[in-house]
Structure 1
Amino acid sequence: MSELLVLRPGPMVTLQDLGRVGLMHQGIPESGAMDPEALMLANLLAGNDPGEACLEFAMFAGVFRFTAAARLAVAGGTFRASCNGVPFPVGRSIDVPEGAEVEIGPADDATWGYLAISAGFAVEPVLGSRSTHVRFALGPIPRVLTAGDRLPLRLGTLQEGPRRRATQGRQPPQARAIRVVLGPQDDRFTDEAISTFLAGTYWLTAKFDRMACRLDGPRLAHRDGADIVSDGIAYGSIQVPGDGLPLVLLADRQTTGGYPKIATIIGADLYRLVQRRPGAPIRFVAITTEEAEAAWRRHVAARNTRLAAVRDLAPPSPASAAGMMIGP
């Protein structure tokens, strides 16, 4: 069987697809990609369905060996990638030979990246998804990858058809303030705290994982303490525990929580939060629910346009087809 061998993985490499949808009422988190559009782009470049499972990584993916020729693509940011020591560009598919060692290093413009392999991984879904949730030990590979892991691949031969490239990009994540809808417990904060939250500057800390990221900056005062009756938590909910520092809940968030939520990041701006790197400044601006819904519709339309703009590459030259099989 064709396999991907994990030689030296990064600190947070897991298998993810678009998530385990529809089970939160049973206490099962959604999981799934931190940046769904980047996962979908990587898959389309590799010739897969957009929701196929990929390797998701934070900061850098590490080093892997392919036991068979394969087609792959990397998306999410300008990650430094190489095959057998020779750099290759991200945002397009490449063909690598049997025995190839692929290394994916850090990017200057993103945190989360995706490695898609043509035809995907030969693993079975768990509760309707191949996504990993580490704390719940859910998924066909229910943990972060470690050196020595062997992931079965569906294809043992090179994917047929032309290689592909992305032709349209989206705004950089740091391009503007992150839009939020206040609530659902903004009434549990003082008026001064609301003003501080919207006028102040926060910074992403290095305390982050797939469950949450902690912000540093002005502390926010609660009106009647920091405990509430637990209720549901959306992707992008901003909880404020007793220390007054905001905590943004992410893809692997728990389904309910007992701290008041001052605001929720709108769906169209989630990538602007998760793809900023530790130490980046964050500012928030409040909009209405109606404005958030309109922004989501525009976001989905623009995302679909970007994904539809993936184009075939010209066939590689004989020189570039030799050895690494990476075309222009």
Structure 2
Amino acid sequence: MASMSIIELNSLALIQDFGRFRHQHQGISVNGAADEFAFLKANHCLGNHVFTTRNDKSNEQNASLEVFYGQIKLAFDDSCYIAITGADCQPYVTSKNKSHSDIPMWQPYLVEAGDSIVLNRPSTGVISYVAVKGGIRSPQFLGSRAQSVVANQQMPVLSPLVKGQELPFSRSSDDLPETILDLTKYTPAGFYASDVLYLRFMPHQHWFDAPNHQQEDWLNTTFIVDSNSNRMAYQFEKELTTGHAFSKLSQTLSSAVNFGTIQILPSGLPLVLMKDRQTMGGYPTLGNVFQIDLFRLAQLTPGQKVKFIPAEIEQAQSQLNAFYQRFMPQ
């Protein structure tokens, strides 16, 4: 089977698909691509199947490389089509004759046998995706090839990738799609926040129980992404010139948490749970962030700003449905 090998790695790299479903009650995280917009776009423009004919999420062909802050070199032992999306990592290819050429992002690119590609540290964003036609064919666990940011000694297949590792892929004989998806408003320039990212959230009971002045203070607060943010959770500091952190809330009994749950720490600062989150938590919660906004949040670097704004669950559902429908078979 054809493969690409990790020749150099000075960052975090993982294999991701949609993640593993229906196992959170067993304490198993879902994992999966942090920025599903870039992940889906990379796979869609290669013609990889991301949904079944019933429009259910499918992990069969879309396992891709998720790279944080670039700084990786990959060598290919066979020709294949790839697509690189997400953070602007200024990728380039080195051919067998040592010549260099830039690789355009957000579109298919033919890599020849013996070529190496390099992803530099991004000028903007955090995560870049490298998808290959037919998908990476690493071993599955519970129906998914997704890996976690936390190393697992008992199951190395779930641990982050390391230098020297070979990633097999199946050369698909299918042609590339004749037309690439028209994303209309979901273009890279239009999808990601250019300034402050507004995180829309569906409020929980703690929010409704808070007095109006505290709600207003919270909504007027600008938060700054903390350097400890990762795939498990995004942490924040408060901008000194605005608003207030939430006043201390009573600890609650441990309960299930979701992708996007807003937990309030004893400091009053928020924590937004991401794809590698735990499945239970005891911190009080204010609500749940829209999934589409979480894909945007995953690309924010430390120091960038967010604000929270409450919204209705009907809006969250309709926008997420519309988002996925753009990638479903017509």
Q: Which amino acid aligns with 1:182?
A: P
Offset, 1:277: 2.3
Which sections of structure 1, spanning at least 5 residues, go unmatched?
310-328
Match of 2:120 in 1: 105
Q: Which amino acid aligns with 1:178?
A: L
Match of 1:65 in 2: 75
Match of 2:170 in 1: 154
For 1:58 and 1:97, the matched residues in 2 are separated by 25
1:237 pairs with 2:261: yes
For 2:210 and 2:74, the matched residues in 1 are separated by 48
* CA pair 199-264 structure 1, distance change in 2 beyond 3 A: same
Q: Which amino acid aligns with 1:286?
A: P
Offset, 1:166: 5.3
- Residues 9-45 of structure 1 show CA distances to partners (whole Å, capped at 9, x for unaligned) of 2422101100111111121111111112321211122
Match of 1:12 in 2: 12
Match of 1:249 in 2: 273
* CA pair 183-10 structure 1, distance change in 2 beyond 3 A: farther
Which sections of structure 2, spanning at least 5 residues, go unmatched?
51-58, 95-99, 239-243
For 2:13 and 2:208, the matched residues in 1 are separated by 39
* CA pair 150-211 structure 1, distance change in 2 beyond 3 A: same
For 2:127 and 2:16, the matched residues in 1 are separated by 12
* CA pair 59-189 structure 1, distance change in 2 beyond 3 A: farther
Match of 1:222 in 2: 248
8 Å Cα contact 1:16-1:53 kept in structure 2: yes
TM-score (norm 2): 0.82
Matches within 5 A, 1:3-82: 3-50=3-50, 51=59, 52-60=62-70, 62-82=72-92
For 2:201 and 2:176, the matched residues in 1 are separated by 43
Q: How many residue pairs get matched?
A: 303
Give the % identical residues.
25
SS at match of 2:141: coil
- Residues 236-275 of structure 1 show CA distances to partners (whole Å, capped at 9, x for unaligned) of 1111121222111000100010111122212232223222
* CA pair 299-288 structure 1, distance change in 2 beyond 3 A: closer
For 1:139 and 1:270, the matched residues in 2 are separated by 28
* CA pair 238-103 structure 1, distance change in 2 beyond 3 A: same
8 Å Cα contact 2:75-2:115 kept in structure 1: yes
1:88 pairs with 2:84: no
* CA pair 112-296 structure 1, distance change in 2 beyond 3 A: farther
SS at match of 1:13: strand
Offset, 1:190: 6.3
**Segment drifting more, 146-155 vs 180-189:** 180-189
For 2:168 and 2:71, the matched residues in 1 are separated by 18
Q: Alpha carbon RMSD of aligned pairs, Å?
A: 2.6
SS at match of 2:318: helix
1:265 pairs with 2:289: yes
Runs of 4+ in 1 over 6 A off after TM superposition: 306-309
